[in-house]
Chains A and B, each alone.
Chain A
């Protein structure tokens, strides 16, 4: 059965933080949901292929630039922090609050 530790690992992978109270609540909900979906372990699936979105091949096109109606101005407006037309973010290499 899912341990608290495994649950915390998943939170790291998902890049999600929860408060301690949220962790308790979510962990219980999570165990319920996992219990329910474990029903699929009982299904006989020998020789069954996984569903591939309607069996279509990936459609390709020529690697040529295309004009598309996309507002550069609005995109820049949406940036949380910027310098001229570039997105600005805090340091990447600075030590984080936890280990990954």
Chain B
């Protein structure tokens, strides 16, 4: 069984044609995982009992009722709650925290009876771009284990790329699905803000966070998006939207994407921090698309030079508020040596990792009296301008293209300052600020033997257009 190549629809067909038992499949898969994850370290928790129990149940059912996701092995980023299992956010603060309820996305997925294989590693509280900020261990890039898988959904991307699961759910606040997808050579989608419920996602920055799928091809992304998207009354930012056709079904018409007007973002393709070899390859890629008959135009978006600052101010501010609950009182780590509640709170919170502390401190600063107007308020105004810039462009264009990352996956111990690390998110951040959807997908170009990734952005609720173009590019194999 070539786990690395296996897709959701392929496994689904194997089940339907009775070529393999569900229990047999998942049992073999866990043997594979035991071998492979020694080198990758994607998993924090393996939910083996859960998966095996489900597999046994499924083997007693009539397979004509199997939906596309039935019996499909999935990994879940460890900041998404699965009831009864540890959800750690890769933090010492929640090292032994057991989820008292299921995230809505888990409830929605469970209706299809997939196999939840395990919880995967991330940067602590989703803050980071390499998964090196996990309080437990580092995850390696399956394409080159000397390199990072990206972050914060590094475990998600690595578990898909290494064939340990067929797909994963990650979360994206400033690029945390798309950047690791790019680094590990897989597909990753950040949906429109509000399309997927955040109920049961450990909050980082509430106006930016979105849960999304990582998989090996656009069809699998569509299948997952169909399952997890939709209105949730438990998330007050949830949109009451359902597409006319399922995302998966709409891919039959992928050729429609040839008629789209597509812009490529000048500021990004010409950016000073974009690796020069990558720049050349992207140029060739865009030429390939043009030659195929796609309508491509260079576009410019205003205020993008402010995006990084705006993001770090807003995300840190929201994080400082969302992480105030980790005080050692009701759950999570508590320093039991302290004899009064104030000392206890301070001391318990000392257990956060460095990057988390950094962002809480920054967030507190920009919200504090005397600085709120200069930083937080100004950042929200700039955010509005960035949001409007995208809205304006989408009046004339169907989709936008950009690189996903300025470099390929970097090596471990390539010491970077916090600010340098933040700069690796320049292409992904504006998307979260504007609340629009974006997909990262691998293309047929390499630098240092690692694949490049193109980012396809669309206006709110145009995931169908994004996925159609992705399918076309995927089939062209360019």
B334 to chain A, nearest CB (A): 4
Nearest to B347 among chain A residues (CB) is A17
Q: Is the CB of A54 within 8 A of B194?
A: yes
Secondary structure at chain A's binding surface: helix, strand, loop or mixed?
Answer: loop
From B313, B338, B341, B365, name the one whose CB has the most chain A CB atoms within 10 angstroms: B365
Nearest to A91 among chain B residues (CB) is B340
Count A interface residues, CB 8 Å.
55
A64 at the interface (CB under 8 A from B): no
For A1-42 the 0/1 string (1 means CB < 8 A from B) is: 000000000110111111000100010011011101101110
* Known contacts A13-B368, A58-B236; A79/B361 CB under 8 A: no
* Known contacts A40-B310, A45-B378, A71-B101; A16/B352 CB under 8 A: yes
Nearest to B308 among chain A residues (CB) is A36
- Inter-chain contacts of B362 with A (CB < 8 A): 30, 33
* Known contacts A14-B320, A41-B378; A96/B328 CB under 8 A: no
Tell me which of B193, B306, B331 contacts A80 (CB under 8 A).
B331
Count B interface residues, CB 8 Å.
73
Q: Is the CB of B384 within 8 A of A90?
A: no
- Inter-chain contacts of B418 with A (CB < 8 A): 29, 32-33
Tell me which of A32, A49, A94 contacts B340 (CB under 8 A).
A94
- Inter-chain contacts of B310 with A (CB < 8 A): 40
B204 at the interface (CB under 8 A from A): no
B38 at the interface (CB under 8 A from A): no
Q: In the docked arrangement, what's the CA distance between A95 and B193, Å?
A: 45
Nearest to A59 among chain B residues (CB) is B236
From A29, A37, A95, name the one whose CB has the most chain B CB atoms within 10 angstroms: A37
For A59-100 the 0/1 string (1 means CB < 8 A from B) is: 101000000111110110111110000010111111111001
* Known contacts A15-B345, A69-B102, A71-B100; A78/B378 CB under 8 A: no
B115 to chain A, nearest CB (A): 21
A7 to chain B, nearest CB (A): 8
* Known contacts A17-B346, A92-B341; A10/B364 CB under 8 A: yes
Q: Is the CB of B306 within 8 A of A51?
A: no
For B330-350 the 0/1 string (1 means CB < 8 A from A) is: 111110101111111111011
Nearest to A25 among chain B residues (CB) is B354
B5 at the interface (CB under 8 A from A): no
Nearest to B420 among chain A residues (CB) is A32
For B347-383 the 0/1 string (1 means CB < 8 A from A) is: 1011010100110111111001000001101111111
For B54-76 the 0/1 string (1 means CB < 8 A from A) is: 00000000000000000000000
A73 to chain B, nearest CB (A): 8
* Known contacts A40-B309, A69-B101; A13/B364 CB under 8 A: yes
- Inter-chain contacts of A16 with B (CB < 8 A): 346, 349-350, 352, 357, 360-361
Q: Is the CB of A89 within 8 A of B435?
A: no
For B385-423 the 0/1 string (1 means CB < 8 A from A) is: 101000000000000000000000000000001110000
Q: Is the CB of B349 within 8 A of A90?
A: no
* Known contacts A81-B334, A96-B340; A11/B361 CB under 8 A: yes
- Inter-chain contacts of B29 with A (CB < 8 A): none
B14 at the interface (CB under 8 A from A): no
Nearest to A9 among chain B residues (CB) is B368
From A17, A74, A90, name the one whose CB has the most chain B CB atoms within 10 angstroms: A90
Q: Is the CB of B382 within 8 A of A70?
A: no
Q: Is the CB of A39 within 8 A of B100?
A: no
Tell me which of B320, B384, B417 contacts A51 (CB under 8 A).
B384
Q: In the docked arrangement, what's the CA distance between A61 and B361, Å?
A: 35
Q: Is the CB of B312 within 8 A of A37?
A: yes
- Inter-chain contacts of A41 with B (CB < 8 A): 374, 378
Q: In the docked arrangement, what's the CA distance between A3 and B303, Å?
A: 30
B132 to chain A, nearest CB (A): 16
- Inter-chain contacts of B377 with A (CB < 8 A): 50
- Inter-chain contacts of A18 with B (CB < 8 A): 350, 357
B301 at the interface (CB under 8 A from A): no
4 new A-B contacts at CB < 8 Å, known A54-B237, A80-B334, A90-B341: A14-B364, A17-B349, A39-B305, A71-B100
Residues of B within 8 A of A (CB): 83-84, 97-102, 193-194, 207, 233-234, 236-237, 303, 305-306, 308-310, 312-313, 320, 324, 327-334, 336, 338-347, 349-350, 352, 354, 357-358, 360-365, 368, 374-375, 377-385, 387, 417-419, 435
